[in-house]
């Protein structure tokens, strides 16, 4: 059981689920619950957990090979979940009243030589924006998983994407730099990028009620 220890705001006060692994990506839902995924350990895969405001936690997806970007459809009927090392983005039926997810199925499967799906966000029209690690781009998909557009960056490891700005019309994109090797990873590897006047716009993210 994952348990929060009151009295401190530091991450060290959250007990580890598995000493051989760590968290990778998290998201809060409209009711303040938190979905959080663990990385694979040396001998087993990770899992996706849901933490509830009443202090309870449970595994909602077992045996995940690198838990990554998540999001909700605007009508809150769908939950999206990225499993990076399978090169897939999954969609689940989502019940906002309980936080229950069900009926998981693959929505997007990326070619193995076209980068790895990483962080993601959802815009106000329900389109999915997925960062592509080792792919130098972000990709916008429809809710049916069809590609709408791709935006390239001078950085190989594109890691996350989110909306910001007063009207959520700005798209912020993070990239990584390993070993200070911009010759291999791009001239702007490790940079934060902003794209302005994006339409459809994004929406505000939900806030955790775990305390």
Q: What is the CATH number of the domain that holds 93?
A: 2.120.10.30
- Please pick, among 52, 118, 179, 183, the residue that the annotation labels catalytic: 118
Q: Could you tell me if residue 201 is inside a domain? A: no
The structure tokens 């689940």 sit at 92
Q: Could you tell me if residue 184 is inside a domain? A: yes
Phi-psi region of 97 (alpha: psi -120 to 50; beta: other; left: phi over 0): alpha
Q: Could you tell me if residue 90 is inside a domain? A: yes
Neighbours of 88 (CB within 10 A): 17
Summarised one tens digit per residue, pLDDT across range 120-176 is 999 999 999 999 999 999 999 999 999 999 999 999 999 999 999 999 999 999 999
Asked if 183 is an active-site residue, the reply is no
Alpha carbon distance 147, 143 (integer Å): 10
What is the number of structural domains in the chain? 1
Alpha carbon distance 156, 116 (integer Å): 11
* 201 Cβ neighbours under 8 A, 6+ residues apart: 123, 124, 163, 167, 168, 169
Summarised one tens digit per residue, pLDDT across range 2-57 is 333 444 343 333 434 444 678 899 999 999 999 999 999 888 899 999 999 988 88
Summarised one tens digit per residue, pLDDT across range 86-110 is 999 999 999 999 999 999 999 999 9
* 112 Cβ neighbours under 8 A, 6+ residues apart: 87
Helix H or strand E segment including 105: strand 100-109
Q: Which domain holds residue 191?
A: 11-195
Residue 60, token pair as written in the block: 């909602």
């Amino acid at each position: 059981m994952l348990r929060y220890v009151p009295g401190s705001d530091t991450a060290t006060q959250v007990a580890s689920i598995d000493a051989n692994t760590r968290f990778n990506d998290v998201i809060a839902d409209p009711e303040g619950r938190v979905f959080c995924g663990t990385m694979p350990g040396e001998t087993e895969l990770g899992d996706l957990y849901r933490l509830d405001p009443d202090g309870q936690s449970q595994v909602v997806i077992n045996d995940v090979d690198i838990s990554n970007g998540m999001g909700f459809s605007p009508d809150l009927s769908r939950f999206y979940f990225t499993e990076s090392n399978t090169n897939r983005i999954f969609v689940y039926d989502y019940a906002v009243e309980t936080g229950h997810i069900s009926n998981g199925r693959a929505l997007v499967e990326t070619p193995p030589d076209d980068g790895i799906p990483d962080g993601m966000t959802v815009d106000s029209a329900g389109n999915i924006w997925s960062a592509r690690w080792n792919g130098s781009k972000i990709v916008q998909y429809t809710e049916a998983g069809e590609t709408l557009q791709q935006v390239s960056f001078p950085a190989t490891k594109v890691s996350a994407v989110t909306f910001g700005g007063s009207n959520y019309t700005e798209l912020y994109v993070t990239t990584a730099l390993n070993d200070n090797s911009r010759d291999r990873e791009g001239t702007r590897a490790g940079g934060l990028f902003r794209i302005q006047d994006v339409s459809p716009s994004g929406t505000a993210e939900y806030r955790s009620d775990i305390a």
